[in-house]
Amino acid sequence: MPEGQVVQRTEKLATVESLQVDFKALGIEKGMVLLVHSSLSAMGWICGGPVAVIIALQEVLGETGTLVMPTHSTDLSDPSQWKNPPVPESWWQTIRETMPAYDPDLTPTRSMGKIAETFRKQKAVLRSAHPQSSFCARGPQASDIVNNHALAYGMGENSPLARIYDLHGFVLLLGVGHSSNTSIHLAEYRADFSSKRVVEEGAPILQAGSSTWTTFENIDVDDSDFDRLGEDFSGSDAGKLVQHGKVGIADCQLMPQRAVVDYAVNWLEKNRGK
């Protein structure tokens, strides 16, 4: 959204201090492991933009809290699967042979928003090694979350999502809906449904100092029903654990990650493939 439109929608500008008040009112506490999905424009005009949001989150979490964000780079993938935009088939092999390898420090995010892209560049932030589905984290649990991120099945049991689950972490939907809730992908890996299938994916990674095109298995993830799942979750007993509130002018939800993942496993088994 153009910045001028964001200004027009904002009655009162947000600051680091006002954001801290909003985050605390929503239920964020010191010491939490917090996975954040965000839309900066949804929050209204903020003095300091994404930097202010990050500072406010870290102040509320304190030194004992750990902030996590998705830093996916889905453009490092097989060009035969590209749809937005597609490229000519005659380019595919050249792309596979020449695409620069994933570099946690250099590779930018794709479609993750300004807050996540800014966060990944902050000093002391660690980024996982997956070329497509990486996560960044900062705080005392950061290395436990991002280390040993497996190449195959990149949002499954050997992923930062599963480590957040182990740590009883929380999910903050900051101006976005459940279609952006990557934790539901962990439920896709855990659920048993008839339409579930394994696919082969590819990406350039560094091996012995050189970029190498590498293929690996994954499940065919699908977020097309995540919003419907989220609506059902909100109306369930488990959904009573969700805390709702405003940060700036954005509608936000804070929830225990385990609650939404466990609910989603059962929901997917009942609703997928029918």
9-26 pLDDT, tens digit per residue, is 888 899 999 999 999 999
The alpha carbon of 152 is separated from its chain's Cα centroid by a whole number of angstroms, namely 18
Q: Does 4 or 181 have the greater pLDDT score? A: 181
DSSP class of residue 23 equals H
**Partners of 203 in beta bridges:** 214
Q: With residue 98 as reference, give the H or E element that holds it.
A: helix 92-98
* C-alpha–C-alpha distance, residues 215 and 199, integer Å: 10
Q: How far is CA 206 from CA 34, 145, 152, in A?
A: 30, 22, 16
Nearest CA to 134 out of 212, 69, 67, 186 is that of: 69
* C-alpha–C-alpha distance, residues 125 and 143, integer Å: 10
* C-alpha–C-alpha distance, residues 237 and 263, integer Å: 10
| Cβ neighbours for 188, distance < 8 A, ≥ 6 positions apart | 155, 196, 219, 221, 222, 264, 268
pLDDT tens, position by position, 125-153: 999 999 999 999 999 999 999 999 999 99
| Cβ neighbours for 207, distance < 8 A, ≥ 6 positions apart | 214
DSSP class of residue 244 equals E
pLDDT tens, position by position, 212-232: 999 999 999 999 999 999 999
Residue 5: the pLDDT is 83
* C-alpha–C-alpha distance, residues 40 and 29, integer Å: 21
In contact, 126 and 136? CB cutoff 8 Å: yes
Residue 274: the pLDDT is 63
pTM over 0.75: yes
Whose structure tokens read 């900066």?
Answer: 40
